Structure 1
Amino acid sequence: MISRGRVVAAVFVALALTPTSAAAYCRTTTVAVPPDYKPQVCFADGLPLFWKNACVGYDVSRSASQRFSLDVISPVVDEAFATFTGATCAGGKVGITASNLGPVDCTDVRYNQKGTNSNLIVFRDDVWPHSDPNNTLALTTVTFNADTGEIYDADMEVNSSDKNLTVGDPVPGDGFDMLSVLTHEAGHFLGLAHATDTKAAMYASYKPGAVEMRTLKPDDVEGICAIYPSATRRAVDTSVAASGFIEATACDPTPRRGLAKDCGSTDPPATEKSGCSVAPTPDDRPGVTGLAACVAAIAFAASARRRRTT
């Protein structure tokens, strides 16, 4: 069964949250996270998500952004993915790679069950088409097999409509570093949920002006290596394989059913989303983390709203 979902509900997480175990990384699962869930520990219901292929491809929308041209933003997207796929695991290099398959003439987030597809990165300059536009920087939609956890498709949307997103250095004190945001989103794209380690790139809260999330911390490396320990194995639930591992398919970055260079399809655009968002919050209150729904990503919060509004 193929599923998509949307992460929209908000819960609160203390910024001083302490991991409850050495493995503070979390994997996204096939089960919707309850709106009132407070993730001091990982939400473990359902099956963990994974890409079965030894490599995945992604495409940046040719229109890019009015603020950042395709030539400027594509290398940033590439660097974000390379941060994860360049991780070193105990047995060697992490077992998944990601390739930029070139720009596509499409801005629709969708998964085509009968036609070609693209794993799209798109920038929403004019209007953010989802809920909570003031507190959302990005949304990642993942389509997966609900019976196994295998990811079929993933799309990122970046809210560039009224956010102070920046590329390069220095990052202003009230700015959101694009590379940090995209690196965090790449983790969701690959199957990671929010970590409980406050220093991790996958932690749910981002402070404007910060660049620490550009790089992986030990927790992030442990998480990506747990899912993809080698190019030939994928870690799955024991209900999928008794050993806890299945064999990966040979590297082919082509999206499921072929690469779509435009939006032509028999399927309509998606209306259900799973998302990772960045929400500014006051300095003196806990970070807001939106967690919920039936799939893939989780919300990403930023502290220091006061600096953005004064």
Structure 2
Amino acid sequence: MKQPLIEVRNLKKHFPIKKGWLGRTVGHVKAVDGISLTLYKGETLGLVGESGCGKSTTGRTLLQLIEPTEGEVLYEGRNLVGMKPSKLRPLRKELQIVFQDPYASLDPRLTVGEIIAEPMEIHRLCTGREKEKRVEELLEVVGLSGYHAKRYAHEFSGGQRQRIGIARALASNPKLIVADEPVSALDVSIQSQIINLLQDLQEQFGLTYLFIAHDLSVVKHISDRVGVMYLGNIVELADKNCLFDTPLHPYTQALMSAVPSPDPLDKKERIVLKGDVPSPANPPAGCAFHPRCASCMDICRTERPVLQERDGHYIACHLYG
């Protein structure tokens, strides 16, 4: 039986909208609006959706890099939300992140060795020669060489920088890594190298990934399960083969229809969504997707669908109520 590593219950993150000289709160941007999911040890859960749907905010709120507005994040049974900093600090070394931009996420004033060694110093994992040896080992693990430790980040390509970011994430021996679109800023040829590296590291160190991405083909390659987000909510969650073979939610079906096929004779029907994504500051009543849904019913305009299980396939849609 799979052991849960992270359990997220009704997680919300609402950013206040302030106006005027007094900075009065006049509304909220509902970036994450009631997400519940479970991450099991050793698996990769992919998270996909359009830009602005709340994927990155979900990952950062889960790690407590952003304080959630409401909800629970249970890490091995311990609720991270509201935990005292003194108790949260020892757990942070087990929860790491690989950022999207390999150019902005590395300090240009530090050498590569200092960047990778920083987590070890903060958490007092090792010092002196032991620390230097560990840095060299991590660089070799991610496909670089030990002598790269004395260089600066600007001397490396985008793919090499992302490898350095991965080495930094591994420095504190984490159990969970949130990979926040780790290949979207890289060339296609480099993307495959980083994806294969992440899979090798997962097998070697027994890591658990929350993999956030736009590219559905990348998500299908690396993930065990896939969750689809729309306007701060998960609308569908299932095993990757089940999701890609039989998508149930109209939004997921539209996303899948946009994936190009390598077969020029494959003439699949393209589902074109009407209108724009509604503002998270003023989401529609009922189902957030109903203004763009071709299967919209009266109940969709008034009642928000609940994520419910259907033979291991979770879906939030009144069509399957």
Q: Normalising to structure 1: TM-score of the pair?
A: 0.24
Q: Which has the larger radius of gyration?
A: 2
Q: Normalising to structure 2: TM-score of the pair?
A: 0.24
Higher RCO (C-alpha 8 Å, min separation 6): 1
Q: Name the structure with the higher helix share.
A: 2
